[in-house]
Amino acid sequence: MSVTPTAPQGAVNPWQMALQQLDSVAERLKLEPPIHEKLRHPKRTLIVSIPTMMDDGSEKVFTGYRVQHSLDRGPAKGGIRYHPDVDLDEVKALAMWMTWKCAVVDIPYGGAKGGVTCDPKQMSRSELERMTRRFTSELIPIIGPEKDIPAPDVNTNAQVMAWIMDTYSVNVGYSVPGVVTGKPVSIGGSRGREEATGRGVMITAREMARHWGMGLDGARVVLQGFGNVGRHAALFLQNECGCRIIAVSDSKGGIYNPRGLNVEELIRLTRAGGMVPTYPDGDRITNKELLELECDLLIPAALENQITSANAPNIRAKVIVEGANGPTTPEADLILRDKGILVVPDILANAGGVTVSYFEWVQGRDAYFWTLQEVNQRLERIMKNACDEVWATYEREQVDMRTAAYMVGVARVAEAIRTRGIYP
């Protein structure tokens, strides 16, 4: 997933943002104070040092995190990201958002997240492997197919998951494919997992546009971030919905062409190591300019804190579909609502990845693997049902879309807590 190097003016602490969102919905749901208080605290937080031998013979010590927010609906589930800005508050927020995301699509997981504070773009493949394997060794007491199942996130991929799986398996003495999802198909991964988050973004955009009475054929789409999520969302929206992709960006900037960009050519360019702004058929723009383009559909698919109180007044999209986690601050949400812009929240829009991760976990447990068509059909059904349920709540409760999604997700987790009770 491509990222924006610095957050815009008006960025807020992600953990405070997550708490504010929870508190607002808890009040609306009239949550019992003990349940509300329990949900405000992660169940478990692990911070580890990761001494790593570098290629030049020197040793660096990185800091790694794993936060398990909730285990009330099942084992913890959540990605691992490698990024210079990773810190505990970010990981705690992402873990909480994973809890709600899993509940919104009604899969039997709680939320977790992990990360390492590093710059993977300045590290060799062998350095990344050594760091990943040491990090995994530190996580072994709390991860496992019945405990906590990591997955790819920002700057991690199927290869990183393979290293995690192998390290865990070597330590326990037998092969454990179910310890991670998002791994290569050759070692137990699921078909359709790599593109699942982008496909889920497309399904959510299509369904919410249908509910809202907006056609997508010929719709102008702007995407911030052209990594795994952004590139697949762009491809599916173009090829399956007839959208016109007019602007995309990565960490170095963006490219804009009102006539439409050739997504396949852009994918070939970036997979060959090129950067989006070097694409010749369009005008170079900044990430700030990209977010403020006039369009029908805006998809922030980079990092959190991209749409804030500082730039929300200048947003000119009709609908925002959050491909990234936490890209819109609460203050920006209020501004966008007043402007009449429909914001489809992250905990619904980007849940395709964790849904197919669930499929991978199920396939691994049964040692029976599905076809790509079966994976996509099941993903379609789950995402469509979640969209319909959130939309029904949105209309019934007369709230914004984020609040509706949170009401669905938080209510499910709260019900699990009530049913299980407190022991001892």
Residues forming the active site:
113
Q: Could you say which DSSP state residue 99 is in?
A: H
| Contact predicate 254/285, CB 8 Å | yes
Peptide bond before residue 145 is cis, with ω within 30 degrees of 0: no
Distance, CA of 367 to CA of 331 (rounded, Å): 47
| Contact predicate 408/389, CB 8 Å | yes
Distance, CA of 83 to CA of 156 (rounded, Å): 10
Q: At what angle do helices 158-172 and 125-139 cross, to 10 degrees?
A: 50
Q: What angle do CA 318, 319, 322 make, to 5 degrees?
A: 150
Q: Is 421 exposed, middle or buried (0-12, 13-18, 19+ CB in 10 A)?
A: exposed
**Side chain identity, residue 66:** R
- Widest distance between CA atoms in the chain: 65
The candidate with the shortest Cα–Cα distance to 281, out of 295, 269, 289, is: 269
Distance, CA of 303 to CA of 398 (rounded, Å): 29
Residue whose tokens read 């919104």? 104
Contact partners, residue 271, CB within 8 Å, separation at least 6: none
Contact partners, residue 187, CB within 8 Å, separation at least 6: 162, 165, 177
Burial 64-94 (b: 16+ CB within 10 A, else e): bbbbbbbbbbbbbbbbbbbbebbbbebbbbb
The candidate with the shortest Cα–Cα distance to 316, out of 304, 307, 329, is: 307
Local structure of 224: helix, strand or coil: strand
